[in-house]
Amino acid sequence: MTSLNVLVAVCLSYVVLLFGVAFAADRLASAGRSTWLRSPLVYTLSLSIYCTAWTFYGAVGYAARSGLEFVTIYLGPTLVMIGWWWGLRKLVRVGRSQRVTSIADLISSRYGKSNTLAVCVTILAVIGVTPYIALQLQSITLSFTIFAETDPAGSYVEGSSAFWVAAGLAVFAILFGTRNLDANERHHGVVTAVAIEAVVKLIALLAVGVFVVWGIAGGVFDTLQRIDASEIGVWQVDHGRWATITFLAAAAFVCLPRMFQVMVVENDDERHLRTAAWAFPLYLMLMSLFVVPIAVVGLEILPEGSNPDLFVLTVPLAQGQEMLAMLSFLGGFSSATSMVIVAAMALSTMVSNHIVMPIWLNAKGGGASVSGDVRSVVLYARRVSIAAVLALGYFYYRLSGGGAALASIGLIAFAGIAQILPALVGGLFWRGATRTGALVGLTVGFVLWLFTLLLPGMGAGVLAPSVIEQGLWGLSWLRPQALFGIEGLDPMVHSVMWSLSLNSAAFCIASLLSFPSPLERLQGAQFVNVFDHSAGPRGWSGSVAQSEDLMIMSQRIMGAREAQEFFQAEAKAQGSRAYFPEPTPAFLERLERELSGSVGAATAHAMIGQIVGGSSVSVEDLLAVADESAQLLEYSSRLEAKSAELSRTAHKLRDANEKLTQISLQKDAFLSQISHELRTPMTSIRAFSEILRDTDGLEVAEKTRYAAIIHDEAMRLTRLLNDLLDLSVLENGQVSLNVTEGMLVDVIDRASSTALTGSINPLKLRRNRATERIAIRTDLDRLTQVFINLIANAQKYCEAHEPTLSISVHDVGGQVVVDFVDNGNGIPPHSQKMVFEKFARVSAEKAGGAGLGLAICREIMQRLGGNVTYLPGQEGGAFRVSLPLGLEIAAQ
């Protein structure tokens, strides 16, 4: 007899081997050299977690008890694989394009990212799967006890093995299921370990089968005869049960969280389904090939009352085939562990994503903007969830006492999980399906399943016998096993019929009656028409050609040199001598991170997804991209505004600078002008005063003449200084105006008499005094000063034979103007503007003016709010004084 210690040692070595395989596979995958890990064979084998210990051991027990009905458990998935591969393909495509992490995530995302739905599915899954995990723990414990029967340590084993197994599985699942938060949620290590276990359990079952047929029964022919002789061989078909269980197995194959995990989430390439479509049914066929022979022979050779669920172990043991029994034990162990690990991983993803994280984020008050923070919380939540799921399974096992009630739990769990089917299939194929519909359907199905199957199945302690016999609240149509008065049906058929049909009906009716939100509509369209939107069956497994495309795109975003350096560094890190790195997931992830620095995370993801084709762009992606673009647009428009402002400021600065330069030049010119203007009279004054001082005997007449010259020059100097002072006061704005009312005619009178007094050849004035009778309100003295200047200029510069100045008053566009037009030569056009500048003189030195008169006039008129301009096109010199608007009171 194999000692328990040897068994434990074998078990531990097997587990260490699995750890090693998982570890190596993870390493290979992260190094990007995981081609064989992504083969269709591994994918097909990973699907075999459908065959749990319940199928490994239980199928034989099932056959021993109920004959050929066990076939239905294999028939369901086979029919799905062969007859519904197109539906699976759609499921896988949707899962990939929406980056779905679990079946709860898929349902929630189809119905407008509804977390309520996700929570419902998660709860349903936890309730449905926990007993199933307990079942696996029970099977491992039972198989241990078979070996331990003769071992003194046996009693110890029964109590503690379930606990240690649960703890060990939790560690495995945590180690390999939550190593990192891969965006694709793929776990190469776990999948590879599961594939190995699939091979072990197949070989184990086949080995036991071969031994039974050829070692015990004496060949195929004899075996068939024995089968014919036994009750199992009797073809007894309960059509209702057959159809129901086949359907349930099919539904569970699609909806079970662990199946969804390996089939959709872990799928690397849609094309793998093509291989799996025939290879997986083949695997199932091989698994079921020897079930009947083992059952028949077991019933024959083992003493009555032996547990048929353990024939796979006890038959070889009874024949003294300890090595074979050991292999068979490992097969059962593999079936149980792989199921538990994947189920715990799948459930933990759902629990942490849809229950723990929302609660945590809520508690944090939306302060989860730091992504690193969230990542570690997610990982932590996953780990805790895995431990919690396994603890739940363990406690369920302890509480249920591991009895026969557990053995029937497999189908009950199937029926519970199948409640997801209407919402899932409806969501994939019917655009009209709504969130409300899915919620109502799920709730109806869940409640009915609970009431008609789970609770009655849990024994009398849970549901009072009176309820089962007389119905809820004494209503006979509410009897759990005879709902609405339909009696005589098998409880399983009864429950599945009512729960699924009412679930589907509620789902359809509520969908038709409710209105989907916009996001729901969009997601619905994405799901139903997934083949129109998403890329073909190319995975992240890209080709070098894709690397080139990625390079071209990256160059545009990062800049040519940076992109080339990044790609070269990556190629080098991969140990490749090629210019382009292999587009491994690790590389793509780094590239995405690199690009997201420039264009935002969502855009980077969408762009890479477009090229690599691993995922199509989801509505959320698009919304996020739109958000980012809006932000970028806003940012760039702000930049544009800023740069416009800057260029305006620069323009102003340039203008100011030019002005300053001009002013500085003007100042220089002004100073040299002034010194020139001052020096001329000063020179005369000095010269004549020296003559007066130094020359003796000058005649009186000469003395008088010289003194007169000195006097005139001094007067000129005084005038010049007065003008300069006046101008500087006006220019600095220090002048204070003395505004009074008066008549324009008086101002002109005063100006002309002042200007013309004492002149030898007085200018002839031509006026129309009637038009000049306008009352005005301004600084009359200053206005007079302007007029004096203009009249004096005409006097000085008009070279006509009979100099005449006509002064006329007009109304130009509502403004009073006074024109001074003489009959002289006027001012040549190119100098007309210039004469208003300081020291500007056209007829050089004539009459001794310093060229300040018109400059002063302009300053005064500007101060008064009016203007003085040259009036071109007249017969002689012509100036126009525009009186300030509104200063005249009324014409009289």
Contact positions vs ligand ADP (CB under 6 A):
793-794, 796-798, 822, 824, 826-827, 835, 840-843, 849-855, 877
Q: How far is the CB of 683 from ligand ADP (least distance, A)?
A: 19
Which two three-digit tokens encode residue 367? Answer: 């302060």
3-class secondary-structure state, position 806 = strand
- 199 vs 800, which CB is nearer to ligand ADP? 800
Angle (deg, nearest 10), helices 103-110 and 85-97? 80
- 248 vs 727, which CB is nearer to ligand ADP? 727
Give CA–CA dist 69/250, Å, rounded.
15
CB-nearest residue to ligand ADP: 849
> Judging by DSSP bridges, how do beta strands 774-778 and 740-743 pair with one another?
antiparallel
Q: How far is the CB of 877 from ligand ADP (least distance, A)?
A: 3
Specify whether the CB–CB gap between 141 and 162 falls below 8 A. Answer: yes
- 99 vs 841, which CB is nearer to ligand ADP? 841
- 145 vs 825, which CB is nearer to ligand ADP? 825
Identify the bridge partners of residue 780 per DSSP, sorted by sequence position: none
- 816 vs 827, which CB is nearer to ligand ADP? 827
Q: How far is the CB of 854 from ligand ADP (least distance, A)?
A: 3
- 47 vs 798, which CB is nearer to ligand ADP? 798
Q: How far is the CB of 878 from ligand ADP (least distance, A)?
A: 8
- 121 vs 724, which CB is nearer to ligand ADP? 724
Instruction: Characterize 495-514 residue by residue with b for buried, 16 or more Cβ atoms within 10 angstroms of its Cβ, and e for exposed.
Output: bbbbbbebbbebbbebbeeb
Which two three-digit tokens encode residue 461? Answer: 């302690």
Q: How far is the CB of 846 from ligand ADP (least distance, A)?
A: 7
Task: Give the end-to-end CA distance of the chain in Å, rounded to a whole number.
Answer: 142
Proportion of the chain in helix, strand, coil states, percent, rounded to 5? 70, 5, 25
302 φ, ψ (degrees, to nearest 5): -90, 150
Amino acid found at 664? S
Closest C-alpha to 349, from 205, 190, 503, 519? 190
CA atoms within 13 A on the CB side of 664: 6
- 397 vs 870, which CB is nearer to ligand ADP? 870
Q: How far is the CB of 789 from ligand ADP (least distance, A)?
A: 6
Q: How far is the CB of 806 from ligand ADP (least distance, A)?
A: 12
Amino acid found at 865? G
Amino acid found at 272? H
Closest C-alpha to 45, from 256, 238, 376, 275? 275
Enter the DSSP assignment of 801. Answer: S
- 96 vs 863, which CB is nearer to ligand ADP? 863
Enter the DSSP assignment of 822. Answer: E
- 405 vs 871, which CB is nearer to ligand ADP? 871
Q: How far is the CB of 777 from ligand ADP (least distance, A)?
A: 27
- What's the CA angle centered on 745, arms 741 and 749, to 5 degrees? 110
- 648 vs 676, which CB is nearer to ligand ADP? 676
Which two three-digit tokens encode residue 14? Answer: 């097997």
Give CA–CA dist 440/437, Å, rounded.
5
- 479 vs 863, which CB is nearer to ligand ADP? 863
- 700 vs 844, which CB is nearer to ligand ADP? 844
Q: How far is the CB of 856 from ligand ADP (least distance, A)?
A: 8
Give CA–CA dist 438/442, Å, rounded.
6
- 193 vs 854, which CB is nearer to ligand ADP? 854
Q: How far is the CB of 882 from ligand ADP (least distance, A)?
A: 18
Long-range contacts of 126-130 (CB under 8 A, 24+ apart): 126/347, 126/350, 126/351, 126/389, 126/392, 127/416, 127/454, 128/413, 128/416, 128/417, 129/256, 129/257, 129/258, 129/343, 129/347, 129/389, 129/413, 129/417, 130/389, 130/392, 130/393, 130/396
3-class secondary-structure state, position 187 = coil
Q: How far is the CB of 787 from ligand ADP (least distance, A)?
A: 13
Q: How far is the CB of 661 from ligand ADP (least distance, A)?
A: 25
The per-residue DSSP string of 730-799 comes to HHTT------EEEEHHHHHHHHHHHHHTT-SSPPEEEE-GGGG-EEEEE-HHHHHHHHHHHHHHHHHH--
Give CA–CA dist 814/365, Å, rounded.
70
Q: How far is the CB of 657 from ligand ADP (least distance, A)?
A: 29
Q: How far is the CB of 859 from ligand ADP (least distance, A)?
A: 11
